[in-house]
A = this chain, B = another copy of it.
Amino acid sequence: MLDSETKAVETPEDHAEELRLWLRLLTCTTLIEGEVRGRLRQRFDVTLPRFDLMAQLDKAPDGMTLSDVSKRMMVSNGNVTGLVERLVESGHLDRRTSETDRRVQVIRLTKLGRAEFRRMALEHETWIADLFADLTPKDVRELMRLLAKTKASAQKSAARRRS
């Protein structure tokens, strides 16, 4: 049997498996994301980022600040500014400056925005179910568990770098 040192010499840094895993993860996400994007556009003439932003706001009846949205969506501040601008323009969002802190903008879904989002979300959920249809409930549970572990690992690594 090989000791660990010998093995280390033979395969100095074998991270090929992790690399393949990352590529597969990326492929899955890209595939599903593209499918959802296309369906949103065809059925509702809406973009995925707009839908995602509305989804965040649907969960927050009292509204959110732009920073909150930016953190939740994991996108840059400037990105949110533009996205919100367009959704206010189209009447889906209401935006007001906080009374207690004039730096802060609070945004909410308008009645129109909420109604449209709910209508889209119902159908969206069936698309997702269909895309994952071949996974058993056990597969789903197991994937949830492993992705939670993955997320924690990646966050730890990211924090290590920032420190």
Residues of A at under 8 Å CB distance from B? Answer: 13, 15-22, 24-35, 39, 74, 125-126, 128-135, 137, 139-144, 146-158, 160-161
Interface residue from B29, B142, B153 paired with A134 (Cβ < 8 Å)? B153
| This protein's copies in its complex | 2
Query: Which residues of B have CB within 8 Å of A134?
Result: 149, 152-153, 156
Partner of A25, one of B32, B153, B161: B32
In the assembled complex, the Cα of A50 lies from the Cα of B140 at a distance in Å of: 34
**A129 closest partner in B (C-beta):** B15
Whether the Cβ atoms of B29 and A25 lie closer than 8 Å is yes
Q: Which residue of B lies closest to A124 (CB)?
A: B19
**Contact of B144 with A143 in the complex, beta carbons under 8 Å:** no
